[in-house]
Amino acid sequence: MANDRINVVGTNIAEKAAMIWNVADMLRGPFKPHEYGLVILPMTVVKRFHDCLLPTWQTVQDTYEKVKKLAVIDGFLSQASGYQFYNTSKFTFDKLLADPENIEANFRDYLAGFSPNVQDVLSKFDFDNVIRRMVESNTLYLTIKEFNSPKGYLGPDKISAVDCGYIFEDLVRRFSESFGEEAGAHFTSRDIIYLMTDLLLSDADLTHAGNVTVYDMTMGTSQMLSCMEERIHELNSEIEVTCFGQEFNPSTFAIAKADMMIRGGDPNNMRFGDTLSDDQFKGYTFQYCISNPPFGIDWKREQKAVEEENKKGALGRFAPGLPKISDGQQLFVLNGLAKLASDGKMAIIQNGSPLFSGDAESGPSEIRRYILENDWLDAIVQLSTDQFMNTGISTYIWICSKDKPTRRAGKVQLIDASHCYEPRRKSIGTKRNDITDRCRNLIVQAYGEFRDDALYGEKDGVHCQSKIFNTEDFGYYKITVERPERDEKGEPVLKKGKPVPDANLRDTENVPMTEDIGEYFRREVLPYAPDAWIDTKKTKVGYEIPMTRYFYEYQAPEPVEDIIARITQLEADISASLQALFHKEA
């Protein structure tokens, strides 16, 4: 099962990635540590292409000689290579190393022989400038030699497409670690991805053959897509899975496109551009969406395009409202919802801000309102802290569904899995906790059983809790309570027979949507301010999801007697230590 792959291949893949990364030893000096990936990532992609194409190299050479004068030759050469890409150069890595004096010219000739789709990949790496720096530092020949050694072999007979994805993922993680990328920018570990895939697929009917579409709007190196494809095929190998992804970082996009070509998918479905301002999938809808967009990142760069789309109303992706300019993650949620088919389902990672930020009728609140009143929010899973390599903050998986089963209609499940983890033996950056198979199974069980106030696992150990709410439980009315301005005699000041409100005494109250405003006012306000009234024209509707409050458990303070006894014992210990110290000095 996909759940077990981390344990099965993790060590071997990590070792292979570590060996490749050790090429950095010869780059030290000409390249700074945070620049190692500029060489290693594109060289790994090129070597993977090379080793895939090597068995059919002669066939491609022969075919090229026959068809090179034709107007359209791609189809012939792809058929000859056995892949959606090819290389017509007369060079291989062995032949490159046989002529060290001309290594630069020959290597550039080799790269120029690749098909146009590979050229697009290489251009995103800005590899031309990297080669120039390698030549100037006399490291090009040595790097090619290192990658051509047995430990650098990446052929499909030894390294499957899935395992190669692991290697790319591990290399990007190392690069991100050295480069200090923003929180969650490029790397989501497999334990979290597998939890997301299992939550998405836990109630899926995949018994019939057909086509399933999967979309990642911030795909990084496309590992979420490959995990979804892997998991779906384990449930039904006959189903065709078509993956679509968009990415704005050039190098990770290049890896994603390369990975897709090697896996036999359509590389044209991997598209480059900023999802918020340059949507590459206008008019598309997908059955599944799985993403970890950046959070805590502003959208100033995309502001003009986003605001223009917002003005389109229902014809655009951002009709409900716009979040604060300093944090664009809710825009990705809206984009994902716009891309979901009528029976679609999405798993997307967020931090705590989208749960409660913004006042009633603010952009963030209106986005929550849009999701909840359409009954698209299925569940939210709170993860533990220290789950990501680049941030230790609490994170949440939002599960949104356009077609909830009947028993979940009008309901939202909240799962507190903040205690459902096991500490790593060795941390990776700030990632100190793992969602192991046992943890993942508990969370998926809680989601699948859909029980209110249910505990899974041991209360004092690894566990998660499930609670069920109605969608309106998250709504509230923000009422404005006015009190009269009074004159020197203490009498209310009137204007046209009505009391004049005193701005200094004005207050607001949040009334749960499940309560009657009048009853709330009579119970909570009038006993303390008999002269108060509600300005109904100022009443606003808001939505928030205060998960911490829902799962808060009162912890009784330590008894006073115990505190006194502990302090007394500490004083006695300190006194004894001082007496022993002075006695020794005497």
Per residue, the 3-state secondary structure of 151-183, as one string, reads HHCCCCCCCCHHHHHHHHHHHHHHHHHHHCCCC
CA distance 22 to 514: 61
pLDDT in tens, 466-510: 999 999 999 999 999 999 999 999 999 999 989 999 999 999 999
pLDDT at 176: 67
Which segment of 261-270, 392-401, 517-526 scores lowest on mean pLDDT? 261-270
**CA distance between the termini of the chain:** 71
Confidence label for 177 from pLDDT (cuts 50, 70 and 90): low
CA distance 244 to 203: 22
Residue of 172, 220, 164 whose CA lies nearest to 429: 172
pLDDT at 558: 80
- Yes or no: say if 351 and 333 are a contact pair by the CB < 8 Å rule: no
Phi, psi of 193 (to 5 degrees): -60, -45
* Same-domain check for residues 52 and 111: yes
Is residue 173 scored above 80 in pLDDT? Answer: no
Confidence label for 6 from pLDDT (cuts 50, 70 and 90): very low
> Would you say residue 459 lies in a domain?
no
- The CATH number that applies at residue 360 is 3.40.50.150
pLDDT at 182: 47
* Same-domain check for residues 292 and 147: no
Is residue 71 scored above 80 in pLDDT? Answer: yes
Of 42 and 182, the one with more pLDDT: 42
Is residue 10 scored above 70 in pLDDT? Answer: no
Average pLDDT, the chain: 90
Average pLDDT, integer, range 110-123: 94
> Would you say residue 294 lies in a domain?
yes
> Would you say residue 441 lies in a domain?
no
CA 126, chain centre distance (Å): 26
Is residue 357 scored above 70 in pLDDT? Answer: yes
* Same-domain check for residues 198 and 240: yes
> Would you say residue 552 lies in a domain?
no
Of 579 and 301, the one with more pLDDT: 301
Domain count of the fold of the chain: 3
Average pLDDT, integer, range 221-229: 90
* Same-domain check for residues 316 and 221: yes
Which segment of 87-101, 376-390, 441-455, 530-544 scores lowest on mean pLDDT? 376-390
Residue corresponding to tokens 């020949």: 141
Domain endpoint, select from 154, 173, 192: 173
Is residue 183 scored above 70 in pLDDT? Answer: no
* Same-domain check for residues 87 and 57: yes
CA distance 366 to 361: 6
* Same-domain check for residues 305 and 235: yes
* Same-domain check for residues 42 and 113: yes
Q: How many CB atoms lie within 10 A of CB 86?
A: 27
pTM of the model: 0.87
* Same-domain check for residues 108 and 200: no
Of 380 and 252, the one with more pLDDT: 380
Average pLDDT, integer, range 439-448: 97
pLDDT at 11: 44
Domain endpoint, select from 151, 173, 195: 173
In percent, the amount of the chain with pLDDT more than 90 equals 69
Which segment of 16-30, 498-512, 530-544 scores lowest on mean pLDDT? 16-30
- Yes or no: say if 191 and 222 are a contact pair by the CB < 8 Å rule: no
> Would you say residue 120 lies in a domain?
yes
Average pLDDT, integer, range 194-216: 91
Is residue 460 scored above 50 in pLDDT? Answer: yes
Of 380 and 152, the one with more pLDDT: 380
pLDDT at 579: 82
> Would you say residue 57 lies in a domain?
yes
Residue 415 carries which DSSP code?
E
Average pLDDT, integer, range 194-218: 91
* Same-domain check for residues 337 and 275: yes
* Same-domain check for residues 235 and 376: yes
pLDDT at 484: 96
> Would you say residue 159 lies in a domain?
yes
Domain endpoint, select from 147, 173, 199: 173
Residue of 400, 328, 409 whose CA lies nearest to 370: 400
> Would you say residue 570 lies in a domain?
no
pLDDT in tens, 270-299: 999 999 999 999 999 999 999 999 887 899
Boundaries of domain holding 521: 474-547
* Same-domain check for residues 106 and 77: yes
The crossing angle, in degrees rounded to 10, of helices 57-67 and 74-81 is 160
Of 497 and 178, the one with more pLDDT: 497
- Yes or no: say if 410 and 471 are a contact pair by the CB < 8 Å rule: yes
The residues near 330 (Cβ < 8 Å, ≥ 6 apart) are 323, 354, 363, 364, 367
Is residue 209 scored above 70 in pLDDT? Answer: no
pLDDT at 111: 97
* Same-domain check for residues 157 and 190: no
The residues near 22 (Cβ < 8 Å, ≥ 6 apart) are none
Confidence label for 586 from pLDDT (cuts 50, 70 and 90): low
CA distance 329 to 24: 35
Query: Bridge-partner residues for 382, per DSSP?
Result: 396, 416
